Amino acid sequence: MKGRKVLICSDSVSALYSIQSGSSHTFRRRCVSHSRRFIGENTEVVGEQSLTPELRLRLFTPSCRFWTERPELWPYEDPYWAIYWPGGQALSRFLLDHPAVCRGQTVLDLGSGCGASAIAAILCGAAHVVANDIDPMAAVATHMNSELNGLQPPVCLTHNIMGSPPAAFHLILLGDMFYDQSLATSLHSWLNRCMETHGTKVLIGDPGRAQFEEHAIRRLLRPLAQFELPDSVREENYGLSCSGVWSYTPEL
């Protein structure tokens, strides 16, 4: 959505996990409460029409107000967290089908959006899960979606983790993160540092967008799984019919 305006309250949602005492505590709590209410009123609980029907998520659907509302009326950043993107669906499906991949591991879901892959990692027995998305509303949505699935939420971080030293995780998950060429290049460099420093494993989910297929990282990926997308997901994603999961293997 373009032409958006941002409420001052939305900036404070990012402090959800670093709440201090006094008036700032009260203000932040109110902002989080407002955000939860807004998400609850403007999304629907969706489950069956995805690659992971066992997960319940709050998402945009055609019956939601802002599906057709004028973009300038949307009061937050673009709501990428309200869509269950096909790369994330494939990644979550792969984890649920192969729980040993993340069982007992420390896992980072980078660009976590609605939190589905982080939730899948928790269900598979990951020892510690972090969901990172620079939109504070994604953290709130991830909390709500975790609760929908009867889980304790993952740790949610809202700063740009790629601006930090290489992250010490056993496994990094990236769903639908190669939609922009410059972002893909930054990801490529940061992932290499994580792997060189910590021996991190990387799984990538993508439906084969041009930016992904044409990037240099593509030749360093080993295919692990391919999934046919449900009809409703195809319709929402311009006819994309499949989504895959790859392992990043720079030694190729």
CATH code for the domain of 235 = 3.40.50.150
Residue 35 within a domain: no
CB count within 10 Å of CB 36 equals 17
Q: Indicate the range of 67-71, 146-150, 248-252 predicted with least confidence.
A: 248-252
List the end-to-end C-alpha distance of the chain, in Å, as a whole number: 39
Q: Mention every residue, 6+ apart, whose C-beta is less than 8 A from residue 24.
A: 15
pTM of the model: 0.87
Predicted confidence (pLDDT) per residue in 22-77, tens digit: 445 565 677 888 899 999 999 999 988 899 999 999 999 989 988 888 888 888 88
Residue 31 within a domain: no
Kindly indicate the confidence band of residue 16, based on its pLDDT and cuts at 50, 70 and 90: very low
Residue 69 within a domain: no
Kindly indicate the confidence band of residue 215, based on its pLDDT and cuts at 50, 70 and 90: confident
How many residues does this entry show for the chain?
252
DSSP for 170-238, please give it: SEEEEES--SSHHHHHHHHHHHHHHHHHH--EEEEEE---HHHHTSGGGGGEEEEEEEEPPHHHHHHTT
**Residue range(s) defining the domain that contains residue 227:** 86-248
Question: Would you state the pLDDT for residue 183?
Answer: 84
pLDDT, averaged across the chain: 87
Number of domains in the chain: 1
Residue 150 within a domain: yes
Question: Would you state the pLDDT for residue 85?
Answer: 96
Q: What is the b/e burial string over 42-69, where b = at least 16 CB atoms within 10 angstroms of the residue's CB? A: bbeebeeebbbeebbbbbbeeebebeee
Predicted confidence (pLDDT) per residue in 75-93, tens digit: 888 899 999 999 999 999 9
Q: What is the mean pLDDT of residues 225-241?
A: 91
The answer to whether the beta carbons of residues 187 and 162 sit under 8 Å apart is: yes
Residue 195 within a domain: yes
Which has more confidence, 212 or 18? Answer: 212
